[in-house]
Amino acid sequence: MTDPKPLKIRAARAGDFAEIWAIFHAVVAAGDTYAYAPETTMTEARRIWMEPPTAPYVAERGGRIVGTYALRPNQPGLGDHVANCGYMTHPDARGQGVGAAMCAHSLQAAGERGYTAMQFNFVVASNEGAVQLWQRFGFAIVGRIPAAFRHRALGPVDVLIMHRSLT
Amino acid sequence: MTDPKPLKIRAARAGDFAEIWAIFHAVVAAGDTYAYAPETTMTEARRIWMEPPTAPYVAERGGRIVGTYALRPNQPGLGDHVANCGYMTHPDARGQGVGAAMCAHSLQAAGERGYTAMQFNFVVASNEGAVQLWQRFGFAIVGRIPAAFRHRALGPVDVLIMHRSLT
């Protein structure tokens, strides 16, 4: 059943980090979607997700943070017109459209910040739900790296690079 | 004319940084091959090129550093079996095989460090000499990002992702 309470997406504040960390840790510890080491510490997670040039956002429902995304330049300097974004949904809130809502929000936020494209560097090919979701949002697969991810359950898995223009 | 003095490639030491910085600055200021901002500072360059997990190397000829490369994991954690490497040759030493010698050395160094593949994330498509050199060393083009680099002279240019197994 989809939770009837509305989803609100907003820029994250420092005080949100405890809830963000709970999501980050749950997602990363599973070892099936992100390269970050399953044993990544809270301090490292804060640096990865909360420090400039990364701009963190949260998705709230009923006063509880159910998802988070981090928007940043994919490259410095002469490549910083292309955004990168990572999304994480709390395991308890999956299948409720949180990822899709965050993706839509991030495309708008990236455009407002002046980015002209968005690139995902590390979409684990076995994460088919994510690949299909990004394709629905207009992302194309522009690269494939063989066996670049050591999936905890599946072993070596290919990684996709996905890209979408924002103009 | 090729310089007859032999090229020696070795791990960089902290005291090499002044010469490395001269090369880094000259290469980056040109704005035609690397995303790093042309105005990147010495402090930023030291962090990018010299700090762990990056392992820096230098190519010396006649006691002078003519090239440098930086070897690092391309991803953290569950992606850290794939190496990334960046190479820079002093403008005065181009066309003398320094880049090729550094590439060969880096493939061996990466294998010795336990990496099973090497990936370049940002090969500027207009840098045809580099693309051909990496292909000669067995790298395949596995991705292409449209207009991901703002070339100082050419404007928006595609970027290639290149990959080579080390096993």
Please count the residue pairs, one from chain A and one from chain B, whose beta carbons lie less than 8 angstroms apart.
107
Answer whether B163 sits within 8 Å of A147, measured CB to CB.
no
Q: What is the pLDDT of residues B99-143, one digit of tens each?
A: 999 999 999 999 999 999 999 999 999 999 999 999 999 999 999
B163 contact residues in A (CB cutoff 8 A): 145-146
The shortest C-alpha distance from B95 to chain A (Å) reads 25
Task: Answer for the pair A64, A23: CB distance below 8 angstroms, yes or no.
Answer: no
B34 contact residues in A (CB cutoff 8 A): 77-78
Answer whether A148 sits within 8 Å of B119, measured CB to CB.
yes
Write down the mean pLDDT value for chain A. Answer: 96
Answer whether B142 sits within 8 Å of A146, measured CB to CB.
yes
> Using 50, 70 and 90 to split pLDDT, how confident is the model at B79?
very high
Task: Answer for the pair A83, A114: CB distance below 8 angstroms, yes or no.
Answer: no
Q: Name every residue whose Cβ is closer than 8 Å to that of residue A93 and which is 6 or more positions away in sequence.
A: A3, A61, A66, A67
Answer whether A161 sits within 8 Å of B145, measured CB to CB.
yes
Q: Rounded CA gap, B156 and A14, in Å? A: 36
B149 contact residues in A (CB cutoff 8 A): 78-79
SS3 of A34-55? CCCCCCCCHHHHHHHHHCCCCE
- 167 residues of chain A, pLDDT tens digit each: 555 689 999 999 999 999 999 999 999 999 999 999 999 999 999 999 999 999 999 999 999 999 999 999 999 999 999 999 999 999 999 999 999 999 999 999 999 999 999 999 999 999 999 999 999 999 999 999 999 999 999 999 999 999 999 99
The shortest C-alpha distance from A100 to chain B (Å) reads 23
Strands B117-124 and B82-89 turn out to be parallel
A142 contact residues in B (CB cutoff 8 A): 143-146
Q: Annotate B97-150 with DSSP letters as a single string.
A: SHHHHHHHHHHHHHHHTT--EEEEEEEETT-HHHHHHHHHTT-EEEEEEEEEEE
> Using 50, 70 and 90 to split pLDDT, how confident is the model at B5?
confident
Note the pLDDT of residue B126. Answer: 97
Residues of B within an 8 Å Cβ radius of A? 28, 31, 34-38, 40, 74-82, 116-117, 119, 121-122, 142-152, 159, 161, 163, 165
